[in-house]
Structure 1
Amino acid sequence: MSLHRLTKITIGVPDVDETAKYYTEFGLTPTDSGFATADGGEQLELRRTRQRRLLTLGIGADDPDDLGRITASLARLDVESRVEGDELHTKDPVTGLDVVVSVAPRLRQEPPEPVAYNQPGSVRRANVRAPGIDREPPVRPRKLGHVVFGSTDQAATQRFFTEGLGFKVSDEAPGLAAFMRCSTDHHNVLV
């Protein structure tokens, strides 16, 4: 799959300062222009809007050829797009969501150290508390991997993501919702 991850999420909120406190407490690291995750880098930006909504979704692609393929696929759906350098800019015609597909390196995550858990017939951690109980440093999300948003025409938005951008459907409730992915995760977008 030439698409491989969510690169950036921009959310509009009525109270940026209060929402920023929430994401800081959640474990994201504040930066000059947003928030960073442990492995994904700067992935979240907040902007002031009258109501909470997803404004922009950034998606990583492997190379410039992927942008050309997406441009052609979107044109078949009569959806406008423009390429600026290593970025393709487009908009879901139903929701108005701005989508930016950019050539970006793949995210390489080292698996975490396995935790020893006791199980019936297997005591692997005798007389010791679970590591999460005594953890000192705060939890930090490794990446932001999915978004959820509504559409007044779910089928059309699903076509935009699948036929236009190249997402794959993981699961769906036909006519109601679809879990779609651009990475190896189960889903990156739920519409």
Structure 2
Amino acid sequence: MPSEKITILHYNDVYNVDQGRAARFVTAIKQHGEESPLILFSGDALSPSMLSTLTMGAQMVPVLNAIGTHCAVFGNHDFDFGLEVLSERVAETNFPWLMSNVIDNETGRALGDGKVTHAIDWKSKRIGLIGLVEKEWLDTLATINVDEVTFIDYIEAGRKLGAQLKQEGCDLVIALTHMRMPNDIKLAENCEEIDIILGGHDHIY
């Protein structure tokens, strides 16, 4: 019996779009509804934009939810209004956010209280998800100092967590990343435990 086809729709860096385009984007996503797509997001929605300076990113929450997002990784701009506001926005979304390789030194948990891993049963497969960022990502955080967090090398984290998810029964491991393409390529070349890399930060679509 042939394997069941899985459709994955991925998007990233959607914080500043022209008027009306969010609605058109949601409509385009919905056109794939019969395929029951797995919808994944690689970060940067809450900021920066002129509107977000007034709403602190709240205007994007209904859009992210309407898209039908199933899982996301934090982008650097999602922290622009601080951890307290980010926590409010995360609570308003109806999907989990990942942060697999940056630890908040104060809490000992993943930065932004993100999930380290997430697994989802999709059609006939169990899919494991991790969210990775590059070290340079830390320098772009507007409200968090580098000495307030502990960075784990993304290749080290990818290998460890990818293997863990496979041991837990995942058929496929997907890394949602928010880092430059050269680092995505480096991750692909050095981490066989990850099957698919879906990146953000570079504005390439």
Shared topology, TM-score over 0.5?
no
Return the TM-score normalized by structure 1: 0.32
Relative contact order, higher structure (CA 8 A, sep 6+): 1
Greater radius of gyration (CA): 1
Structure with more of its chain in helix, by fraction: 2
Q: TM-score of the superposition, structure 2-length normalised?
A: 0.30
